[in-house]
Amino acid sequence: MSRVQLALNVPDLDASVVFYAKLFGVEPAKRRPGYANFAIAEPPLKLVLIEGEAGQETRLDHLGVEVDSTDQVDAATGRLEDAGLATFEENDTSCCYALQDKVWVHGPGKEPWEVYVVKGDADRMGGSAALESGDACCSSGG
């Protein structure tokens, strides 16, 4: 099952976890230092919360589509390239406490989108080679 991902930088991770648990009626699927994610069945959504700076307003970090396999990431890469979009691929990367394969593109407003598969858990937040600015592991600067 594919689902849309919304990743937010939040100033207060604990308060955000409480709020989104109430909003969607589910507990986090994963909770680590400075990080939480929710795997929401209805509506199908992967909500990622990345701890930002205290006092800052919540802001969009990046968007994504979680898929079930590396083959689906590869198919998305081909489709995006055929459509004339610039892509950046990362394989076996540690990001958001998960081992992932992914491809990045940017929308016309420079909003980063990733198509990715989670291949397993990782012990660290990790970082993205696509990262050019910002401090979140899962964002692709651009």
User: Which pLDDT tens digit goes with each residue over 35-48?
Assistant: 999 999 999 999 99
Q: Is the model more confident about 17 or about 95?
A: 17
User: Does 136 have pLDDT greater than 90?
Assistant: no
Architecture, CATH, for domain 66-127: Roll (3.10)
Q: Do domains 1-54 and 66-127 have the same CATH topology?
A: yes
Q: Are 112 and 142 contacting, i.e. CB atoms less than 8 angstroms apart? A: yes
Q: Which residues contact 14 (CB under 8 A, 6 or more apart)?
A: none
Token code pair at residue 105: 């593109």
Architecture, CATH, for domain 1-54: Roll (3.10)
Average of per-residue pLDDT values in the chain: 89
Residue by residue, DSSP assigns 5-26 as EEEEEES-HHHHHHHHHHHHT-
| pTM flag (> 0.85) | no
- Residue ranges of domains in the chain: 1-54, 66-127
User: Does 119 have pLDDT greater than 90?
Assistant: yes
